[in-house]
Copies of this chain bind each other. A is one copy, B any other.
Amino acid sequence: MTQPDTLRGIGESATLARIFPRLPQSDHALVGPGDDSAVMSAPDSRFVVTTDMMIHGPDFRLAWSAPHDLGWKAAASNLADVAAMGATPTALVVAIAAPADSPVSLLEGIADGLRDACLALAPGCGVVGGDLSVSDTLTIAVTAFGDLSGRAPVLRSGARPGDVVAVSGALGRAAAGLALLFERGTVDGQPDASAAASLRASDPDLVAAQLAPTPPIADGVLAAQAGATAMLDLSDGLALDARRIAQASGVALSLDAAAIGSREALDGGEDHSLLATFPPGTSLPGGFRAIGTVVAGSGLLVDGQHYEERGGWDPYEQWSGGRG
C-alpha cells in the first residue's frame, strides 16, 4: 500500500499547486492571488471585513470533522458575519497552519469545503489570497469581505421599541448536533471517527448542523433591503446574542418561548443564523420568522420574564484541553 503524500514530503510549493486550482474565484477581484497582495473592487467606496479562526481542539475534532467540513464551516461562519451587516460576501483570504506530517488531502479537502460553501451560500465569493504555514495545531484563519451596494450597514445598535424581533435559520441545531457527538460519537470518552460515521447515517441533519452549517447568507441583504434596524449572526446562542442587540441598542428584547421552541434553541451556539429587528408592520423577507418584539428596558425577556442564563462559551475558561 502506498503512503499518502504528506506536506513535509512534497513541500510548500507543490502543496500550493495542488490546492490552488480547487479554490473558488471571486467575481470582485481586480488582482487575484499570486502577488504580495490582492486588489479587490469596492464599488461603493466601502468594504465590510470580519475575521474568525478555527483551532483544532476547542473548535473542532479531527475524528468528527472531515476536511471538507472544516473548510465549509470556516467559510460559512465568516460569511454569516458579513451577511449580518446586510452585505453581500465578495471574497475570503485564508491562512492555514497544519502539522508537517498531515496528508496533503487534508488541505485539499479544506480547499474543497471552502469552495463548495462559497458556491452554495454566496456565489461570486472566492478566495483571493492566503498563507500556508506549519504548526503543531491545525489552525484555519479566515478573513471575509463584503459589499454593501450603497446601503448603510445594519449594526447591532438600531433596534427600537415596537420593532419585531425575527430570526432566519436554525435555532439550537448546531448545539444539539454537538451534544449528540459528545454523547454518542466517542469511545472511552475520546472523539471517535467510526462512532461519528454512524451518527452521520442515523442523524445526518443534526450532525451537519454542527459540522457544516448552512446559514441563510442571502437573507442578510434581504433584511437590509427590508429595512432591518439591527442584525447579528447567532454564534453564541440566541439568549446571549439577543442581549448584545439589547445592550447595543439600549432596549430590551422580549421573546416568545413558543416561537423559539426549545431551551436548546435559546442557549445553543454556532447556528450562525441571523437575528434581526424590523420596524413594526414590515413584511418579513426571505426565511425570517417573528419570535418577539423590542420593548423599553434592558436585557432579555422570555414570555415576559427576565432571562438571566449566561449562555455562550469562553474558550479560555471552558476548553477541556481535549483534541482528538
Report the stretch among A126-134, A202-210, A285-293 that lies at the interface: A126-134
Cβ of A140 to closest chain B Cβ, rounded Å? 9
Do residues B38 and A48 form an inter-chain contact, with CB atoms below 8 A?
A: yes
Report Cα–Cα, A42/B42, bound state, in Å.
7
Asked if A8 and B316 make an inter-chain contact with CB atoms under 8 angstroms apart, the answer reads yes
Q: Would you give the 0/1 interface string for A247-279, flagging 1 where the beta carbon is closer than 8 Å to chain B?
A: 000000000000000000000000000000000
| Interface residues in A, total, Cβ within 8 A | 76
Task: List the B side residues contacting A52 at CB < 8 Å.
Answer: 95, 131
Which positions 148-191 of chain A face chain B at CB distance < 8 Å?
148, 153, 155-156
Looking at A63-71, A78-86, A114-122, the stretch in contact with chain B turns out to be A78-86
Given contacts A11-B317, A97-B139, A315-B134, contact A48 B37 (CB under 8 A): yes
Given A11-B316, A39-B153, A40-B49, is A136 in contact with B136 using a C-beta cutoff of 8 Å? yes
A residues sitting closer than 8 Å to B (CB atoms) are: 6-8, 10-13, 15, 30-31, 35-53, 55-59, 80-82, 84-85, 87, 91, 93-95, 97, 100, 128-137, 139, 141, 143-146, 148, 153, 155-156, 231-233, 314-317, 319, 321, 323
List 28 A-B residue pairs with CB atoms under 8 Å apart, sorted by A's residue number: A7-B316, A8-B317, A12-B315, A13-B314, A31-B155, A35-B85, A35-B232, A36-B84, A36-B231, A36-B233, A37-B81, A37-B85, A37-B87, A40-B49, A44-B45, A49-B91, A49-B93, A51-B94, A51-B131, A52-B131, A53-B95, A55-B133, A55-B139, A56-B135, A58-B135, A95-B141, A131-B141, A133-B315
Top-6 shortest CB links A-B? A141-B141, A42-B42, A37-B50, A134-B315, A36-B84, A137-B137
